[in-house]
Chain A
Amino acid sequence: MSTVQIDKTIDARGMACPGPLMNLIGAIRQGAVGDTFDVLSSDEGSKTDIPAWVAKAKQELVEVRPDEGCTHFVVRKVR
């Protein structure tokens, strides 16, 4: 378990690429600066796509944590 405070969990397990990323982008757009999102994805593409998008969009990738059958991507909206 992580100690990071999560404001919203985005359960995108089972979604095909690029679904989980698109859900994250939507949540970041609607969220407030400072909000932290936990994206659960079972899509292999997310492992490269989410870090690439977060870097490009200049948001913050707080944590990438493998779990059973999925990976957690904890992302903070910083701008």
Chain B
Amino acid sequence: MDEQEKPLSVVLFSGTDDKLNAAAVLTVGAAAMGRPVHLFLQYYALDAFRAGRVQVDHALSPEATSAQAPAVRAHPGAHWSELLQQAKEVGEVDIQACALSMDMFHLTRADLDPIVDGVEGVAAFMASAGDGQVLFV
């Protein structure tokens, strides 16, 4: 991992556990492979990162059918917050809350879980993305 890799930038919009988990798996994989990862928390995803709310049940996305949901819930994989913590340990991962969404939900920095590194605006997020990919989850 000597050469500088292009960053992977992911906008987290959905706040359901399945989408957060899928995004966390992408994050830990990119971090393990040496890519810096920037996460930008908006709307319902930001709500899931509130202090004391990370571990609560955030439900599943509407596309999870009643036949699929039990398999998702029963899967023994690590919780998304644990995967993000692992990603921070093996690589360069920056988690920023969207300033607009903070304002929308009347949140301050103190309302967020410590895994969140700060609050920034969309232009700062785009600047950090550079010419790397931006994903929306």
Contacts and interface: CB of A to CB of B under 8 A. Distances in A.
Interface string A24-58: 01100100000000000000000001001100110
A66 interface: no
Nearest to A53: B32
B34 A56 contact: yes
Interface residues of B, number: 14
- Looking at chain A's contact residues, the main secondary structure is helix
B78 interface: yes
B31 to A, nearest CB: 10
Interface in B1-59: 1, 25, 28-29, 32-34
B32 to A, nearest CB: 6
Contacts of B34: 56-57
A25 B77 contact: no
B33 A16 contact: no
A6 interface: no
A14 B77 contact: no
B40 to A, nearest CB: 22
B86 A53 contact: no
A3 to B, nearest CB: 30
B90 A16 contact: no
Interface of A: 14-19, 21-22, 25-26, 29, 49, 52-53, 56-57
7 contacts: A15-B76, A25-B90, A29-B90, A49-B29, A52-B33, A56-B33, A57-B34
The 7 nearest A-B residue pairs measured at CB: A16-B77, A22-B86, A25-B90, A56-B33, A16-B76, A18-B28, A53-B32
Interface of B: 1, 25, 28-29, 32-34, 75-78, 86, 89-90
